[in-house]
Amino acid sequence: MSDKSLHSKVSKGVSRRGFMAGTGSILGALALAVNTVPARAEGVTGAAVASAPIDSGAHVPALVIGTGYGGSVAALRLAQAGVDVHMIEMGMAWDTPGSDGKIFANTTKPDYRSYWLRTRTKAPLSNFLGFPIDKDVPRYTGILDAEEMGGIIVYQGRGVGGGSLVNGGMAVTPKRQNFAAILPSVDAEEMYSTYYPRANAGLGVGLVDPDWFETVDCYQFARVGRKHAQRSGFPFVFVPDVYDWDYMKQEVAGTVPKSAVDGEILYGNNAGKKSLQKTYIAAARATGRVAISPLHRVTTVSPSAGGGYTVGMEQLDTTGAVVATKTVTADRVFFAAGSVGTSKLLVRLKATGALADLNDEIGKGWGDNGNVMCGRANHMWDPTGKVQASIPCGGIDNWDAGGAFAEVAPLPTGIETYASFYLSITKNPNRAEFTWNAAAGKVDLNWQTAWKQPSIDMAKTIFDKINAKEGTIYRTDLFGTNKIWGDHLTYHPLGGAVLNRATDNYGRLRGYTGLYVIDGALIPGNTSVNPFVTITALAERNIEKIIATDL
Ligand code: FAE
């Protein structure tokens, strides 16, 4: 795909609307069957190797750590500027079907592909009707990492495409009046006139057809969510997404294999979702200048004697075992391992002396984007539907009044649950710090579960009122027994190497020429909406400046 075609994809409807938030929710899995690893799944490792992994001793002009949003933007734009790029990705390539003929597992049937090196699933919704739903699965380099960081579980995508492989695709540009609080040192005019439109174009963002939305069973849950919101005086807004809406129409019409309408999302989507593999990464590969090494995990970065940087890495097999260690050199290194991945690397490298001149802002300013989940129990006359599209398309906007935006999220269980489910993004002011734990030889995060209370309070400004109006109650069976709030997790980690603090105003790490941060670690903890459009737009802004002035 050419850059031109990437840009030509901006949906006019989307860019005019000044979107509102939603979130990438997605949900628990009602697992019934657990697969074992089929013998041919091992071939996935082979496929990764076949995609030309980097050789030990190699030298590359630009090395990008991670293949999520920030990394993919950096790779594409550097390559277009004539720079050869090698991307290093700890997860799999996700380009080879398993024994069921599909690359990705269904949300309702997690299997060996679903979790990153776990022997038991860790579904965001842990319970249903009070019963735990997690299942044993074979340990494998699966797609979703549920990383337990002290007081919070941070969900992240693993593989070529990063979070775009597992997320809900909700592609939201924050309201302009909120931007100064999100990235105070960045020129808003420039972002809204150039970089947000460029990011939306590159990502292929579009909006559900509002007329079609009114007619289909798979969005009954959202129409019920809208009705309840509006009856309590809250605005309901449509939220853009990177799902191919025409494909979803065909799914509903029964003319193509079902994907979102069959609940595919949390463990990957086999058809309609425009993950980075189909957008930025496809365009980057098409330049002929970008190579990717999947199942390679960067462990060290340090200055080389002859200039540039020495980068150490481990090659993994699909059990997570290290099968090789490699050392390469690079003129420039872009940290794009995600907020947690980049922060953990930088904190360790500073503390252990490999990058001792990094400043004291490294590891600071981390937030959860105020994520909190809850469910409401509807009356029998308000069913939310047996079939629910896994792609959310609307939400309740109470940001100005209460500091919350609540995505009306699907619960694609395949049965009628009479539940309305929500993932709220809230204005939570708490910020945590990553620190080096020398005794344990690992990086810790000091987030406390109790720090979610401001998020719960803000979400309650919406749902207490709706419950009072509708005569309904909260579900207490989704996150344990007798537990209303999903306050144990985030889908939206942000910060840890904050722009204009740990780096300069364009992501250049202070203390080292040629080292850059270009992912969610730059954003100080909250975007007021789902983060990936902002991460992409900021990366577009920063890489343009870096190419113009540093190369
Ligand atoms: P990210 O996409 O996480 O990419 C980092 C990559 O680096 C990953 O592929 C890692 O495997 C790799 N990596 C990490 N450490 C290393 C290492 N040492 N060596 C090599 N590779 C490494 O980073 N956001 C939205 O805007 N809308 C949504 O609808 C939405 N829904 C979500 C639903 C779920 C379930 C989840 C988990 C997230 C969701 N998000 C959503 C968040 C979004 O995916 C996330 O903000 C971005 O993916 C972050 O982009 P980054 O480029 O920072």
Residue 237: CATH number of its domain: 3.50.50.60
pLDDT at 118 over 70: yes
pLDDT of residue 9: 33
Is 416 among the residues known to form the active site? no
Paired residues of 115 in beta bridges:
144
pLDDT of residue 8: 35
Is-contact 54 63, C-beta < 8 A? no
Is-contact 444 471, C-beta < 8 A? no
Of all atoms in ligand 1, which is nearest to the CA of residue 539? 52
Mean pLDDT within 524-536: 97
Q: Which of 407, 470, 488, 540 is catalytic?
A: 407
Between 140 and 126, the more confident residue is: 140
**Residue 51's pLDDT band (cuts 50, 70, 90):** low
Domain housing 343: 3-97+104-550
d(CA 541, CA 372): 30
The two tokens of residue 16 are: 């005019």
pLDDT (tens digit per residue) in 456-479: 999 999 999 999 999 999 999 999
Virtual torsion, Cα 14, 20, 24, 25, nearest 10 deg: -130
pLDDT at 16 over 70: no
pLDDT (tens digit per residue) in 471-524: 999 999 999 989 999 999 999 999 999 999 999 999 999 999 999 999 999 999
Q: Whose CA is nearest to atom 8 of ligand 1?
A: 162
- In 52-104 the beta strands, taken as DSSP E runs, fall at 59-65, 85-88
Assess whether the C-beta atom of 240 lies below 6 angstroms from ligand 1: no
Which conformational region is residue 95 in: left (phi greater than 0), alpha (psi within -120 to 50 degrees), or beta? Answer: alpha
Give the number of other Cβ atoms within 10 Å of residue 211's Cβ.
7
Residue type, 147: E
The two tokens of residue 139 are: 């340990």
Mean pLDDT within 225-232: 98
pLDDT of residue 129: 79
d(CA 53, CA 335): 19
pLDDT of residue 6: 39
**Residue 451's pLDDT band (cuts 50, 70, 90):** very high
pLDDT at 35 over 50: no
Mean pLDDT within 372-398: 96
d(CA 156, CA 158): 7
Q: Whose CA is nearest to atom 51 of ligand 1?
A: 338
pLDDT of residue 400: 87
pLDDT at 84 over 60: yes
pLDDT at 404 over 90: yes
d(CA 502, CA 358): 8
pLDDT at 47 over 70: no
pLDDT at 34 over 50: no
| Dihedral pair phi/psi, residue 313, rounded to 5° | -150, 160
Mean pLDDT within 443-453: 98
pLDDT (tens digit per residue) in 291-339: 999 999 999 999 999 899 999 999 999 999 999 999 999 999 999 999 9
pLDDT at 32 over 60: no
Assess whether the C-beta atom of 530 lies below 6 angstroms from ligand 1: yes
**In the chain, pLDDT over 90 holds for what percent of residues?**
87
Of all atoms in ligand 1, which is nearest to the CA of residue 70? 52
d(CA 371, CA 409): 13
pLDDT of residue 128: 83
26 CA distance to ligand 1 middle (Å):
14
Paired residues of 152 in beta bridges:
149
pLDDT (tens digit per residue) in 147-178: 999 899 999 999 999 999 999 999 999 999 99
- If one counts the domains in the chain, the total is 1
Q: Are strands 85-88 and 290-293 parallel, antiparallel or unpaired?
A: parallel
The two tokens of residue 479 are: 């996150």
Site to substitute for ligand 1 among 492, 519, 526, most atoms within 8 A of C-beta:
492
The model carries a pTM of 0.93
Is-contact 61 331, C-beta < 8 A? yes
Mean pLDDT within 2-20: 34
Q: Which residue has the tokens 């025409």?
A: 246
Q: Angle at Cα 480 formed by Cα 475 and Cα 482, nearest 5°?
A: 55
Is 488 among the residues known to form the active site? no
d(CA 508, CA 516): 4
Paired residues of 258 in beta bridges:
none
Cβ contacts of 255 within 8 Å, gap of 6 or more: none
pLDDT of residue 131: 85
pLDDT at 12 over 80: no
**Residue 4's pLDDT band (cuts 50, 70, 90):** very low
**Cα dihedral 445, 450, 455, 459 sign:** positive
Residue type, 428: N
Give the number of other Cβ atoms within 10 Å of residue 405's Cβ.
33
Three-class DSSP category at 480? coil
Assess whether the C-beta atom of 336 lies below 6 angstroms from ligand 1: yes
pLDDT of residue 75: 98
Q: What is the mean pLDDT of the chain?
A: 91
- Cα–Cα distances in angstroms (integers) from residue 519 to residues 60, 71, 200, in the given order: 21, 7, 16
Treating both helix axes as pointing N-terminal to C-terminal, what angle do 453-470 and 220-231 enclose, rounded to 10 degrees?
Answer: 90
Three-class DSSP category at 435? strand
159 CA distance to ligand 1 middle (Å):
9
Which of 21-35, 219-233, 390-404 has the weakest average pLDDT?
A: 21-35
**Residue 50's pLDDT band (cuts 50, 70, 90):** very low
**Residue 99's pLDDT band (cuts 50, 70, 90):** very high
